[in-house]
Structure 1
Amino acid sequence: MQQSMSSNSGANKPSHKPPSWWAYRKKQIKSSKHSYFLMMPYSLLFILFTILPVVMSLILSFTYFNMLEAPRFIGWQNYTRLFLEDDIFLIAVKNTLLFAAITGPLSYIACFIFAWIINELNPKMRAILTLVFYAPSISGNIYFIWQMIFSGDRYGIANGLLIKLGVLLEPIQWLKNEDYILIIIILVQLWLSLGTGFLAFIAGLQTVDRTLYEAGAVDGIKNRWQELWYITLPSMKPQLMFGAVIQLTTSFAVADVSINLAGSPSVNYAAETIVTHLIDFGTIRFEMGYASAIATVLFCIMVGTNLIVQKFLRRVGE
């Protein structure tokens, strides 16, 4: 009898339901309201100048918009035209993917190697070499140097040197010959690649705890390569992620080098990239709907590539 009464009383007790997701989130926001208040200025700027333009570009990519008339919805016509009718866009995609496949990994590895070597020097020499390597990426109009090197007459540095050595008999129009344009642009971009990612690697190497190397020696790490793989790289994963995003974005968004050296458009579109194609339709022809479709495709390629690279970098040190 007592057991039945106790069981009935237990059944009559109110059950405590777990709080809903919204209630839990509301409580968390209330407890951290000062942090959210401090984040508000950046969040507003991020929404206004990053998220909103991306959403607007996505919407405009389904319209015909020439900046003189109101946007007119046309469905998938821009994308159909892009992939089935625009042969120049396909050339631009091929050039961009080739460019990114070469300059992306090479510039990323070069940034880390130079940062790793410079980090081993004394502070004064480290500061000087960091400035020397970083300077080309922040210089103003540095393309005239390469225009002098690859000038198409005998006074060009490359032509003059090769003629003097007997390699050439006549000067080569380096920047007007489609066999050389893309190679030269890749070379110049690699020269410019030691930028923000390079500084991030320098900063990351400075934050590695030196006691980890001593602990690693006790645990059986025998050489610098094992230190690099099992201690250095895992300790600076945030900087590795940041550097990967920066270098890949730079390699996919190349335009200035191509325009300044090869012109716009380049000879037979040999140096055409997705961004130069986007600039052509967006700022010259003012076909903003079509330009938005190009931007959306480029955005999807960048996001997909970055996700793959980040998945690979998470395995570093395993």
Structure 2
Amino acid sequence: MPQDTLLDKADEAGGPRRRDAPPSGSAGPARRRLLGPQNRTLWFWVFVGPFALGLGLFTYVPLGWSVYLSFFDAHNTVSPTDFVGLDNYTAMLRDDAFTDSLVTFLVFTAFIVPATFLLSLSLALMVNRLRWAQAFFRSVFFLPVACSYVVAALIWKMSIFNGVRFGLANTVLGWFGADQIAWLSTTDPPWYWLVIVTVRLWLQAGFYMVLFLAGLQRIPRHLYEAAAVDGARPGWQVFRYITFPQLRATSIAVTLLLVINAFQAFDEFYNLLSDSRGYPPYARPPLVYLYYTALGQGQNLGLGSAGAVILALIIAVVTVAQARWFGLGRKED
């Protein structure tokens, strides 16, 4: 029976008029769509809103403004008016110092990526085989991740690889009758790479060890049991044919993160190599060079912003190329 007829009968009987739904145009449905069932959407924005607001204000707005500055002649100002188009990009790509910084990155990546990968995987394999105190050793190896890069760099510079005889490394060399080494100022051979790579290894190996541990603990035990039944030898043979193939996704993620973090290297380089006289002309990664370009004596924010955009594009291209090469996201057979 039509609803209007029911309402008319209710009026004739003297009863109250009842409607099953609010009239069209009321705020009820809109409010339900905004807040969601049981106000879940409201609580989502209560918790996520402040973070999203901070991310937009302190990350995306500066990024957008940096792209804007890269098209202007912005000397000592963040509100330029002299539009120069792509001149900043052209000047940056023709700058030998910038291209040399990219070479420095390649050298640093060639050292740090395989070294961190092998060390973190080895630590994960050892910790995973422990039958007791596994949580203790996992925490011990992960603890350096919580240390500041600045603090670690100063410890390496002032205590371990100090260029005088009081440094730990030179003290150990003195026990064997070797000469002292000025670790951070000797370019032939370039001993400073040993200092830079070891401090980064100490700082980040524990983080990637945890990632590998998570991957190891997800490997089904029946695979190892089947391999034992088939006569596979424990050790290298099991690792090569069972463990490492099962860690393919984790290995890809670790490699991508290592390369991206190598592009972003700044703290250890700056705090290890700079002194009261400034930064030496060698071992300048891209971020250190852009720091001196944008905030140095010239304060060319337009040129520095152009270099930052170029670096971001390089990171994006390298990451996508790596992902496609490793087949990230591809369905496995």
TM-score for both structures, normalised by structure 1:
0.74
Question: 8 Å contact 1:258–1:272 — kept in the other structure?
Answer: yes
Query: How far apart, in 2, do the equivalents of 1:297 and 1:107 lie?
Result: 26
Report the AA paired with residue 124 of structure 2.
Answer: A
The alignment status of 1:292 with 2:305, answered yes or no, reads: yes
Residue of 252, 259, 263 corresponding to 1:248? 259
Report the AA paired with residue 104 of structure 1.
Answer: V
Partner of 1:97: 106
Partner of 1:113: 122
Query: How far apart, in 2, do the equivalents of 1:219 and 1:303 lie?
Result: 44
Residue of 303, 311, 316 corresponding to 2:324? 311
1:220-299 equivalences in 2 (<5 Å):
224-225=235-236, 227-263=238-274, 265-267=278-280, 269-285=281-297, 286-299=299-312
Structure 1, 45-54 or 91-100: larger mean CA deviation? 45-54
Q: 1:105 to 1:298 in 2, by over 3 A?
A: farther
The alignment status of 1:302 with 2:323, answered yes or no, reads: no
Query: How far apart, in 2, do the equivalents of 1:69 and 1:55 lie?
Result: 13
Query: How far apart, in 2, do the equivalents of 1:155 and 1:47 lie?
Result: 45
Question: 8 Å contact 2:71–2:85 — kept in the other structure?
Answer: yes
Task: Please report how far the alpha carbon of residue 244 of structure 1 lies from its aligned counterpart in structure 2 after TM superposition.
Answer: 2.0
Query: How far apart, in 2, do the equivalents of 1:213 and 1:46 lie?
Result: 48
Structure 1, 257-266 or 95-104: larger mean CA deviation? 257-266
* Backbone CA RMSD of aligned residues: 3.4
Task: Please report how far the alpha carbon of residue 236 of structure 1 lies from its aligned counterpart in structure 2 after TM superposition.
Answer: 4.2
Instruction: Give the secondary structure class of the aligned counterpart of 1:166.
Output: coil
Deviations 1:268-297 (A, max 9, x none): x21211011122233445432222222222
Instruction: Give the secondary structure class of the aligned counterpart of 1:261.
Output: helix
Instruction: Give the secondary structure class of the aligned counterpart of 2:184.
Output: helix
Deviations 1:182-201 (A, max 9, x none): 33212322232314322211
Query: How far apart, in 2, do the equivalents of 1:219 and 1:290 lie?
Result: 63
Report the AA paired with residue 60 of structure 1.
Answer: L
Partner of 1:3: none
Task: Please report how far the alpha carbon of residue 237 of structure 1 lies from its aligned counterpart in structure 2 after TM superposition.
Answer: 4.2
Query: How far apart, in 2, do the equivalents of 1:108 and 1:46 lie?
Result: 33
When the two structures are aligned, how many residues end up with a matched partner?
281
Structure 1, 103-112 or 227-236: larger mean CA deviation? 227-236
5+ unaligned residues in a row in structure 1: which ranges?
1-29
Q: 1:294 to 1:195 in 2, by over 3 A?
A: farther
Partner of 1:83: 93
Query: How far apart, in 2, do the equivalents of 1:207 and 1:53 lie?
Result: 40
Query: How far apart, in 1, do the equivalents of 2:105 and 2:244 lie?
Result: 29
Partner of 1:126: 134
Query: How far apart, in 2, do the equivalents of 1:203 and 1:129 lie?
Result: 15
Task: Please report how far the alpha carbon of residue 44 of structure 1 lies from its aligned counterpart in structure 2 after TM superposition.
Answer: 4.3
Report the AA paired with residue 182 of structure 1.
Answer: W
Deviations 1:18-55 (A, max 9, x none): xxxxxxxxxxxx9xx98x96987389469726555544
Task: Please report how far the alpha carbon of residue 107 of structure 1 lies from its aligned counterpart in structure 2 after TM superposition.
Answer: 0.9
The alignment status of 1:157 with 2:163, answered yes or no, reads: no
Query: How far apart, in 2, do the equivalents of 1:219 and 1:294 lie?
Result: 56
Question: 8 Å contact 2:72–2:82 — kept in the other structure?
Answer: yes
5+ unaligned residues in a row in structure 2: which ranges?
1-32
Q: 1:289 to 1:195 in 2, by over 3 A?
A: farther
Report the AA paired with residue 154 of structure 2.
Answer: F
TM-score for both structures, normalised by structure 2:
0.71
Partner of 1:178: 187
Q: 1:218 to 1:158 in 2, by over 3 A?
A: closer
Query: How far apart, in 1, do the equivalents of 2:210 and 2:286 lie?
Result: 27
Query: How far apart, in 1, do the equivalents of 2:198 and 2:145 lie?
Result: 14
